[in-house]
Structure 1
Amino acid sequence: MKKNICVQLLGLERAAEALHMKMLLPTRIGGTRWLPHFEKALNIFSRGYKLFLYQLENASHQNAKAEGLAKMMRDGNLILYMLSLKRVISNLQSLSLYLQTDLISLADAARRVQSSKTAISQLCEK
């Protein structure tokens, strides 16, 4: 398992050099503060999309899993889903940070929650 990770990292590094891009590492999502982790992972995925796809396409010659992931990444529906998810998570992250501030009233919090619900509902209608 460790050898496979090293091979994938080396492949990602080579892809970054070939594309003249900064190397980005995908991040894990999880933990107690999952919203910031999720938002960071989505941002890295969108910024490094070209890099990750290039690396997976090159690795797909020897790795069926990489081939499947590359195929998924080329799917337009996945890209639209990721962009929509990025907007929802960003909205929730902003709400979460606002609700964690010390000097807000219950009325302010309720208005902000309602505003976030409306914004997310509008995203779902599009």
Structure 2
Amino acid sequence: MVGKKAGVVKRLKDQTNRAFIQGIHCSAQFSSVELSFKDATKDLSLWTKPSNLLLGVYLFYRNSPLNRSNLLQAFAMEDVEVLIPSRVGGTRWVSHIKRALRNLMTSYRPMIQHLQQIQNPCDPAHNKESARKAVNFLKHLQDKSMVAFLLFMWDIVCCLSAVSEAFQRKEATLEDVYVEIQLAKNTLTNFYEMKVSFCYC
């Protein structure tokens, strides 16, 4: 709609000779927070590996009914809420990542238990490909720096999610949105000043 080369706004300007026409993103349809987050993280090498991990874990359980069934058994043994890993991407980047992180943290212990059970490729009861992936997932999920970064991202995403949700509420006022933006700004500034460093292999 607002593409610089062939968007509707550009075409209206060109075809009507009205250069003063301005395009504005609809905050209720697609918050600029979502677009900003997507742009800020797409080339961020620090986020690439955790993002790939979340995607890999999601596909691992989505594409295998056996793995999903065994994970559900692990949930029952741990007596925790059942939250199967979910996808990272989607129309609403912030909310999808928030859900993916929440599901991973909630299912962390059952998932570790299941992955440890199937990581032996020599066991005839286990699929070799699943065993290989289980070893790789365990390596990353048990890396302290990786876990710390995922928790850090959870804090960031929760902060931005509040802003995004404020934009989307029909009854939200400008003051409501302004307050959420200021709270998010203060939170992100505090994180920046902490200068937390992450290093994972």
TM-score (norm 2): 0.54
Return the letter of the residue paired with 2:144: G
Over 3 Å counting, the alpha-carbon distance change for 1:111 and 1:24 in structure 2 is closer
Aligned partner of residue 31 in structure 1, secondary structure: coil
Deviation for aligned residue 1:25 = 0.7
Letter matched to residue 90 of structure 1: C
Structure 1 pair 100–19 and aligned structure 2 pair: CA distance change class (3 A):
closer
Residues of 2 paired with 1:76 and 1:16: CA distance?
Answer: 23
Which of 177, 187, 190 does residue 119 from structure 1 map onto? Answer: 187
Gaps of 5+ in 2: 1-59, 122-130, 195-201
Contact 1:15/1:55, CA 8 A, preserved across alignment: yes
The 10-residue stretch of structure 1 (47-56 or 94-103) with the greater mean CA deviation from structure 2: 94-103
How many Å separate the matches in 1 of 2:90 and 2:73?
31
| 2:132 matches 1:73 | no
Distance 1:108 1:13, change over 3 A: closer
Question: Which of these residues, 91, 100, 104, is aligned with residue 173 of structure 2?
Answer: 104
Give the Cα separation in 2 of the matches to 1:124 and 1:58. 40
Deviation at 1:97, TM superposition (A): 1.0
Would the aligned equivalents of 1:56 and 1:67 in 2 still touch at CA under 8 Å?
yes
CA displacement at 1:121 relative to structure 2: 2.1
- Per-residue CA deviation, residues 55-78 of structure 1 (Å, 9 max, x unaligned), is 111111131111110111111101
Q: Which residue of the partner structure matches residue 23 of structure 1? A: 82
Calculate the aligned-residue CA RMSD, in Å.
Answer: 2.4
TM-score (norm 1): 0.83
Identity, % of aligned positions: 23
Provide the aligned length of Structure 1 versus Structure 2. 124
Give structure 1 stretches of 5+ with no counterpart.
Answer: none
Quote the residue 1:49 is aligned against: 108
User: Residue 16 and residue 101 in structure 1: after superposition, are their counterparts in 2 closer, same or farther (change >3 A)?
Assistant: closer
Match of 1:5 in 2: 64
Which one has a bigger Cα radius of gyration? 2
